[in-house]
Amino acid sequence: MGKLASLARFVGLPDGSAPQHLVIIQGYIIADHVGPVAVKRLLEQKPQIKGLMGTAQCPAPGSHVSLDAMTARSF
């Protein structure tokens, strides 16, 4: 098991999740590609969730703007 997979299990990502990217912001876990609007909303609303998980593949390399059109899953 790689370091990122071990960290994912440690912070409580759903079983079987193997993110390519993982960051913890203000106690929330952001995994993979999550749009900036979703992250901003998360930090403003402060819901009772562990974090957000986005798509494993970046939809448009070089431009993350299209991520805002995609729905991040909460967990």
pLDDT at 60 over 70: no
Q: Over pLDDT 90: what percentage of the chain?
A: 31
> pLDDT of 28-54, one tens digit each?
999 988 888 899 999 999 999 999 998
Q: Which residues share a beta bridge with 51?
A: 29
pLDDT at 56 over 70: yes
Q: What is the pTM of this model?
A: 0.78
Selection from 70, 1, 43 nearest residue 32 by Cα: 70
Phi, psi of 27 (to 5 degrees): 85, -5
Task: Report the sign of the C-alpha dihedral through residues 71, 35, 20, 53, in that order.
Answer: negative
What is the pLDDT at residue 65?
A: 65
The answer to whether residues 53 and 21 touch, using CB atoms and an 8 Å cutoff, is: no
